[in-house]
Structure 1
Amino acid sequence: CAGIHVNMPLGRPTPEDMQSNDPAVLSALQRLGHYQEWDSGYSKQQGTRPQTIGYSLVDSPVGLAGWILEKIHAWTDNDGSPFDALSKDQICDNLMLYWLPATGASAARLYWESFSKVGEGVVQLPAGASAFPREVIPAPRAWAERGMPNLVYWNDLDKGGHFAAWEQPEVFAAELRACFGKML
């Protein structure tokens, strides 16, 4: 493996970060606090009781649409409507990828499966990160470098959110080319 690219660079603040006056760190701390207080309920639900929400996601198309559309609205780079970032057809197509094969429950279980194994590991491979401004949990480069000490590519972008490859496919593809161009 030549290296990895992420578009949701993760990192945790240190006690020193909690005392920082750096505007980027203060913004990241504020957004992290907002996420923990207001936006992480889905994660807690899916990470601890995925089948509870899973039954609703495979039984009700309205329940599935509400569960997913709320995240699209909150996590895309939009001007107040998810349809500013993605077309109705794109969103309907995405919903159908969950609805037709009834994968809402198994998608929710991914959190339960993954979160029980999260550790303090460090990625030693060459790594690259594209930091989109409306990412769910933004991490300043310094935070990301603690977990990816061989960070060879970092780019702060002007537009895009959590679903970067979906929202900004051309930009995302250019980011992959630029990142792996530095590694290969």
Structure 2
Amino acid sequence: MTIEQFTIDIPQSPLDDLSRRLEHIRWPTLAADEDWQKGVPSHFLKSLMDSWRNDFNWREQEAELNRFSHYRSEIDGYHIHFIYQRGKGPTPVPLILTHGWPDSFTRYQKVIPYLTDPARFGGSPEDAFDVIIPSIPGFGFSSCPHPAGLNNARVAKLWFKLMTDRLGYQSFCAAGGDIGSSVTRYLAALYPDHLTAIHLTDVGIIRDLMTHPQPETLTEEEQAYRQSAARWVREEGGYMSIQSTKPWTLAYGLNDSPAGLAAWIAEKYRSWSDCGGDLFNSFTPDEVLTNITLYWLTESIGTSAHIYRENLSSLPPLQKSTVPVGVACFPADILPPPRSFAEKHYHICRWSNMPRGGHFPSMEEPELFADDVRAFFRAYRLAEDSRPFYGLRRNIRPGQGYASRQIAVKSGSRR
């Protein structure tokens, strides 16, 4: 039941090793007319690697991340890292936010102040949340000692124990995108008596529509989705096929090459965001490189990819839930869902067609994202039993930071 305070404190030796590797990248020979159609062009990646080597400062980003309250707790053999930022208002609502791939808990870094302290931004303190942002096992600072069987439903069960057994909330709200959307939907399906409402920015790739035996019975919107989805899987789904079948083979190269890792992740940020073809229209170089560096320093690209294989092989069917759902559709997201389908499968209580933004809306458009989250959950402010047990703080003891865990990490306790 113990929760440890946690400080991000990377030893200097991995940073020095990264610097050496960035100095000695072996570049492939590519065609002179290279562009993004065949993958990441070398001119882009060489510029990004130059920024990583000469401009990016991990210690500054580490200090920025440590402005938030970090913790770790052991749950069913997994050591779960999470941010837990208390809201500034009379009755903050507990809200667990779940990230996806290839992002991390940093997906929600920008929106924490908007959600915990809305009055600071001209909003009402009545809309404040207690924000909990865990790292999925195998991502970042959350360990994954036994990845077999760790699918999205299993993550939802870990989150339920985190919220109820560790933090003491008996009812709460949840939100997520990408893998986080699936985890959030499983939370609602598995624990409808504890989930007050959920907010989604996507509902995943809707395979039921792609394989529907009677497409002529689908709505016009659903048929258009079938065509778009087939094209997207054909042109953009290669990463998913690899990670859901041979993730370990992929991990050797990405865990050993910072250029390879950066290319694998940065391509997705560009393809899936509302950047108009220029990655840095939606993100700063530091934002992209902080996430990539987090994967590099925690050596988590292999275990993060492995959840795709488990989802393919062991994920149970998702049962329909009556928990209220709010959906925010950002126009440049991957395959925005047809509303007609969503309304057949979820208890849709709010549907927002957003004016801009893509697959990472809390990073790309933090104010728009936070406004929609606050507006949706305003109708579901929780009852007295949602408040955390006041004995919680007695169960938290100081941790010693990431540096002190290096011996345990290297001996295999992370994975």
Fold similarity call, TM over 0.5 = yes
Contact 1:152 1:182 in 2 (8 A): no
Q: Match of 1:152, as an amino acid?
A: C
Q: 1:164 pairs with 355, 361, 386, which one?
A: 361
Bigger shift: 121-130 or 72-81?
A: 121-130
Contact 1:130 1:175 in 2 (8 A): yes
- The whole-number CA distance in structure 2 between the counterparts of 1:18 and 1:168 is 37
Deviations 1:119-155 (A, max 9, x none): 253233111111111111221111112221x111111
- The whole-number CA distance in structure 2 between the counterparts of 1:114 and 1:92 is 28
- Quote the offset at 1:30 in angstroms: 3.2
- The whole-number CA distance in structure 2 between the counterparts of 1:115 and 1:5 is 24
**CA RMSD of the aligned region, Å?**
2.0
When Rg is computed on C-alpha atoms for both structures, the one with the higher figure is 2
| Aligned length, in residue pairs | 182
Q: Which residue of 1 aligns with 2:330?
A: 132
Contact 1:64 1:95 in 2 (8 A): yes
Q: Match of 2:201, as an amino acid?
A: N
Q: Match of 1:157, as an amino acid?
A: M
- Is residue 2 of structure 1 aligned with residue 199 of structure 2? no
- The structure showing larger relative contact order (alpha-carbon pairs under 8 Å, at least 6 residues apart) is 1
- Is residue 182 of structure 1 aligned with residue 405 of structure 2? no
Q: 1:38 to 1:169 in 2, by over 3 A?
A: same
- Quote the offset at 1:89 in angstroms: 1.1
Q: 1:49 pairs with 218, 232, 246, which one?
A: 246
Unaligned stretches of 5+ residues in structure 1: none
Bigger shift: 9-18 or 88-97?
A: 9-18
- Quote the offset at 1:15 in angstroms: 5.4
- The whole-number CA distance in structure 1 between the counterparts of 2:340 and 2:363 is 27
Taking structure 1 as the reference length, what is the TM-score of the superposition?
A: 0.89
Taking structure 2 as the reference length, what is the TM-score of the superposition?
A: 0.41
- Quote the offset at 1:94 in angstroms: 1.1
- Quote the offset at 1:114 in angstroms: 2.3
Unaligned stretches of 5+ residues in structure 2: 1-194, 382-415
Higher helix share: 1
Contact 2:222 2:341 in 1 (8 A): no
- The whole-number CA distance in structure 2 between the counterparts of 1:7 and 1:104 is 24
Q: 1:20 to 1:151 in 2, by over 3 A?
A: closer
